[in-house]
Structure 1
Amino acid sequence: MGPLSGVRIIELVGIGPGPFAGMMMADMGAEVIAVDRKGAASPVELPVDINRRGKRSIALDLKSAEDKEIFFKLCETADAVFEGFRPGVMEKLGLGPDDVLKRNPKIVYGRMTGWGQTGPLAHAAGHDINYISLSGALHGIGPADGPPTVPLNLIGDYGGGAMMLAFGMVCGILEAKNSGKGQAIDVSMVEGSSLMMTLMHSLMASQRWAPMRGVNLLDGGAHFYDTFETKDGKFVSFGAMEPQFMQEFIEKTGLDESWMQNHLNFSKWAELKEELRTLFKTKTQEEWCDFLEGSDACFAPILPFWEAHKHPHNQARNSFTEIDGLMQPAPAPKFSRTEPEVSHGPVEKGADTDAILKELGVI
């Protein structure tokens, strides 16, 4: 089941992006064993955490000598292990990369933090919003006449953190299979989110990006790449960046051909955007969908995430799945042969402790 079938990964359970990275790999067929902390639930633990789907769980007290040994035994059976604690935490427990690699020289040891393992900020607290501030990503998001807009916690925690960790882990596992040697992977959300800004660096170097917010091609400055309110107070997205796509929109809506002449005329963007705001308010979201959806006008309705599963396109592709009565995103991407699937819903904390201890020969 899935392209990572046969791979065992140990996840030291933390918050948010770590469990999401573990879920991604579990979705792909890896056996992910979540090492949960013994004792009462943390205030940040969610009563329903989809990130825990498809995993097994063992509850350990890593300050206990007995449970440390169990953790080492787990690592001896695994291809990789990862954690998301502040730098030095695992070393203080005697469970850092050097300690684990002594017990399993082939293991890949993933480490994900906001600032990275080194540097003057490495030991400071922070969150997604701080990391994408330092990378430059946050500066480019928001209106020209206002402060940067918080883009949920997707760019730092999940794009620059969890997905970079999952990518780095798979890279490390592949390399270890060739070299027979493990290594540590240092994932910084600052660096991950900075890497995701590569196109903007290219546009700046090509003198196609103004050093300000809300006036550029991809930041809401262009009339043909923005969101618009509809007659019923809902919203749609419009992204007819290329001339041939804008031409399609012009022909369908009956706009004057002068629009094409001004398509890339920066001085006209604000004026044209106002005209589009007026135009999009002439129909409801559903009417615009009937009119434009499926054409090359680069259009889509803006859906609440809790309603996205109802859209016919998402239904046709099985983009969402229902597990234990809960609708949720299905594994992605899709594979033609080793199709991933979710084996079960969120695992309860410590649910597999006895079974795993038996497998390790501890009980």
Structure 2
Amino acid sequence: MTNSLLKGVRVLDLTRLLPGPHATQLLAQMGAEVIKIEDPDGGDYARSLSPALFEQVNRGKASVTLDLRVAEDLAAFKVLVADADVVIESFRPGVMERLGCGYDTLKAINPRLVYAALTGYGQTGPLADAAGHDLNYLALAGVLDQNGTAGGAPAISNVQIADLAGGALTCAVGVLAAVIGARASGQGAFVDAAMLDGSLALQPVAMATLNGLGVTQPRGADMLTGALPNYRVYKCRDGRYLAVGALEPKFFGRLLARVAPPGFGGGRRGASTGGGGSSRQATAGRLGGWRARMRDALADPRRARIATRPLHWGLAALFRTRPRDAWVALLADADACTTPVLTLDEALAQAHVRARGLVEDGAVGCPLRFDGGARAALGAPPALGADNAHWLGRR
């Protein structure tokens, strides 16, 4: 059983591997009927390359095998198109046209059809036909250059930012917008979703720096990549890490009040708890030495790093004095935007994730909640061609 919001929306999914299947599974989680169109000779490459990955992004779908190079199968596909709401594919530009089922051909069959092409570089431009993967799109979008520590090489994330955030999620939003438009007007639309484009659109903070200063900042030196001592990852005594996201002064004040000794980090002289001063006064003193400098530096991360260098060094040394979980316990009720850096297995086991019901049968369920309580789970991923009899009248 799935959520019923998209009940009645039928999606023909010709995508393979990760980005497209992730997008269509999200639609399935919200109630869409997704029919996976696969080549009879092995189907989606992920079935053989990574069966575990295939299971993660193809739950709740049907599987139909068609070889679109064969006239009989192409005709069968067009019969399915006549009653579909969405076709989504991830081939290079021109492949569907060469197979005889490009957008112009399919919309003549079904004028209200939404046709989504999810590719690396889009349908136009000098790179439209180029091959690529997540790493390439992030490299060309300027994202990869910003990932990593100061002075180090660009860091490769195990989260596919371009594939999933820039590609799959952006494409799903485009599909939903076009479906709403088709239901209102009776006319479908072509959705050109490119992972490079979507990755560029994920960078408003870096764009603000570029527009404000005329130049981007090196790795580890922008406002949210290491310039601020109150927005950093700190290594603890046991080699594990604590994430400090105390961006606003009120949160940073609470952090310092809980962890720092009097006068820590270059606060005003005499700003200690001695002489009967209250904890609030002491905290104000600690913050006073850097707050004015920070106000000026917020507009320029180059000045921010220099202005707050004593706090960078002081906090780095301080957090090395205790294990990560000791800091977590000390800060548990401080409301200071501090969290442990967890491994994936630790994240899946934490109480909040369990309470939210995010994990189902070894996979992450729909990340959206709608009124009605618990999420409805999807069924297992389909065997290759499991639904041929139902949809094609053949095995």
TM-score normalised to structure 1 length: 0.92
Q: Which structure has the larger Rg?
A: 2
Are residues 1:46 and 2:50 paired? yes
* Aligned mates of 2:15, 2:311 — CA distance in 1: 50
Shift of 1:303: 1.2
Of residues 68, 93, 99, the one that matches 2:105 is 99
SS at match of 2:41: coil
Are residues 1:356 and 2:380 paired? no
The residue correspondences of 1:1-363 to structure 2 (distance < 5 A) are 1-40=3-42, 42=45, 45-48=49-52, 49=54, 50-207=56-213, 211-255=217-261, 256=263, 258=267, 259-260=286-287, 261-262=289-290, 264=294, 266=304, 267-321=306-360, 323=361, 327-337=362-372, 340-358=375-393
Opposite residue 331 of structure 1, the aligned amino acid is C
| Range moving further from structure 2, 27-36 or 212-221 | 212-221
SS at match of 1:10: strand
* Aligned mates of 2:32, 2:339 — CA distance in 1: 35
Cα 1:211–1:284 change in 2 (3 A) is closer
Shift of 1:98: 0.8
Shift of 1:307: 2.7
SS at match of 2:182: helix
Shift of 1:207: 4.1
Deviations 1:111-132 (A, max 9, x none): 0111111111111111111112
Give the length in aligned residue pairs. Answer: 356
* Aligned mates of 1:270, 1:219 — CA distance in 2: 15
Q: Where is the helix percentage greater, Structure 1 or Structure 2?
A: 2
Shift of 1:208: 9.9
What percent identity do the matched residue pairs reach?
Answer: 34
Shift of 1:51: 0.2
Opposite residue 304 of structure 1, the aligned amino acid is T
Cα 1:271–1:193 change in 2 (3 A) is same
Deviations 1:129-172 (A, max 9, x none): 11122222222222231222222352211111000110100011
Q: Answer whether contact 1:3 1:338 (CA < 8 A) is retained.
A: no
Q: Answer whether contact 2:117 2:191 (CA < 8 A) is retained.
A: yes
Opposite residue 336 of structure 1, the aligned amino acid is D
Shift of 1:20: 0.5
Shift of 1:96: 0.9
* Aligned mates of 2:242, 2:320 — CA distance in 1: 10
Aligned to 2:278: none
Gapped regions of structure 2 (runs ≥ 5): 268-285, 298-303
Shift of 1:334: 0.5
* Aligned mates of 2:373, 2:338 — CA distance in 1: 33
SS at match of 1:346: coil
TM-score normalised to structure 2 length: 0.85
Q: Answer whether contact 2:209 2:216 (CA < 8 A) is retained.
A: no
Cα 1:14–1:311 change in 2 (3 A) is same
Shift of 1:90: 0.8
Opposite residue 46 of structure 1, the aligned amino acid is S
Cα 1:53–1:90 change in 2 (3 A) is same
Q: Answer whether contact 2:206 2:216 (CA < 8 A) is retained.
A: no
Opposite residue 58 of structure 2, the aligned amino acid is R
Cα 1:211–1:229 change in 2 (3 A) is closer
* Aligned mates of 1:203, 1:281 — CA distance in 2: 31
Q: Answer whether contact 1:2 1:341 (CA < 8 A) is retained.
A: no
**What RMSD over aligned residues (CA atoms) do the two structures have, in Å?**
2.1
Q: Answer whether contact 1:2 1:338 (CA < 8 A) is retained.
A: no
Shift of 1:294: 4.8
Shift of 1:3: 1.7
Cα 1:207–1:339 change in 2 (3 A) is farther
Opposite residue 290 of structure 2, the aligned amino acid is N
Cα 1:187–1:271 change in 2 (3 A) is same
